[in-house]
Amino acid sequence: MNFQDVHTLQQALDVAPPPRVNSAQDRSEHTARQRHLLVAQEDERVMAEWRRRHPDDVVYEQDYWARRRKEDTRRRREERLDRRRRKALASAQTDIVNAGGRSFFTEEDERWFDIWLPTSDDTNDDDDGADDWSDWD
């Protein structure tokens, strides 16, 4: 609602029409949503108070998450590099076999499947680098 004289949630609730609640289930769902909203608002208030009282903990938490992001980025980079190397090896072995040569992979070697690994070479320019296939590990 866009009222110039409404500055708080309570004032907005006072001027807003009552919710369209038609059945007992609708009323129950509405009540649950209202409860969740109040819990979320109280949680935000308590967290703001905690941040005000414990600034050292806030700095520590921010440092922790910065380190985690850095470690995760490094780990993902290493995993992408490993996939590229494995795919390149499998591709080279395929090229050798296709040219009539012999591969040092056996027929049952699982490394043949590395030819199908997704790498950044297989993606488009809109890819953000996220590992969407990590559930295959």
Q: What local confidence, expressed as pLDDT, does residue 41 receive?
A: 96
Q: Report the distance separating Cα 90 and Cα 109, nearest Å.
A: 10
Q: Is 133 part of any domain?
A: no
Q: Which residue has the tokens 């309570």?
A: 10
> What average pLDDT does range 88-103 have in this prediction?
89
Q: What's the rounded Cα separation, in Å, for the pair 40 and 38? A: 5
**Is 127 domain-assigned?**
no
Mean pLDDT computed over 35-60:
96
pLDDT in tens, 79-94: 999 999 999 999 998 8
As for how many domains the chain has, the answer is 1
**Residue 134 belongs to some domain of the structure:** no
pTM given for the model: 0.50
pLDDT interval class at 51 (50, 70, 90): very high
Burial letters 55-64, b for 16+ CB under 10 A, else e = eeeeeeeeee
pLDDT greater than 60 at residue 57 = yes
Residue 44 in domain: yes
In terms of pLDDT, which residue wins out, 121 or 8? 8
- Cβ-contact 72, 131 below 8 angstroms: no
Residue 81 lies in a domain: yes
In a domain, 23, yes or no: no
Instruction: Output the pLDDT for position 44.
Output: 96
Query: What is the structure's pLDDT at 135?
Result: 47
Residue 97's domain comprises 28-121
What mean pLDDT is predicted for residues 52-79?
95
